[in-house]
Amino acid sequence: MADLVTRQRFDGILVGTINRPDALNALNRSTLAELTDLVDDFDHSSEDQVLVITGAGKSFVAGADIHEMVDMGVLEAKAFSEEGQELCAHLSSMNKLVVAGVNGFALGGGCELAMACDLIYASEKARFGQPEVKLGVIPGFGGTQRLSRIVGPRKAMELVVTGAMIDAEEANRIGLVNRVLPAEDFLANLIEALRPVLEMGPLAVAGAKLAIHRGLDLPLERALSLETEMFAGLFATDDQEEGMRAFLDKRRAKFSGM
């Protein structure tokens, strides 16, 4: 049986590809389990600095697997929601950068998975939506909460209650995605766009990610204090000294992550 999530490495970038193209990469429990293993391995890897999650075929993730969900009871549905939310929480809380490479449909759980990543780079053929209301339910992997924080509550409300699907350009316009890339050679273009991140101080990238994510849920005064603490803490690292010495010496920094 083929892996439900395949792996490729590109000099510090780990690409995990959800591999159920015949089912448009719909998320079932087995796929969630393999995604969880991928994320755990990436989190503990000393080799990989950036994780890209993408999909095989013409879909990123077209939603959760309705065949598996249709007969769920309340307790099963609660457990399934918690599994998805736990995976998404791990993506946003780890100390390394996670990028959604949305190559096609990102609907329901797929849109939620993408929103849990730090950056979303979309193919010009990508489509986004939270169509759960068409099935008589609501998003269960964090969609009502992350979408409203990203695009604002009114736009999120409209997208969720109408179940509308939007294209990549509209997703870019409302701030859901960071960048739209050509569909041809999408993964290669995405890898190239991420190369500059690999040249940055990894501890600084981690600190920036955590400051932004944690600060969103804090009052501004406390969030600014968090930023100050994380800024100052980096002055105890070798990377800070190397980065600033390299700037003064007019050379490229060689960061160690220490």
Residue 240: closest CA among 251, 221, 222, 253: 253
Buried b (16+ CB within 10 A) or exposed e, 90-121: bbbebebbbbbbbbbbbbbbbbbbbbbbbbbb
Token code pair at residue 107: 């609907």
DSSP, residue by residue, 183-194: STTHHHHHHHHH
- CB of 140 closer than 8 Å to CB of 81: yes
* CB atoms closer than 10 angstroms to residue 131: 18
Q: Which residue matches tokens 């406390």? A: 222
Active site (catalytic) residues: 112, 132
* Contact between 252 and 200 (Cβ < 8 Å): no
Q: Are 101 and 119 in contact (CB under 8 A)?
A: no
The separation between the first and the last C-alpha atoms of the chain, rounded to the nearest angstrom, is 41
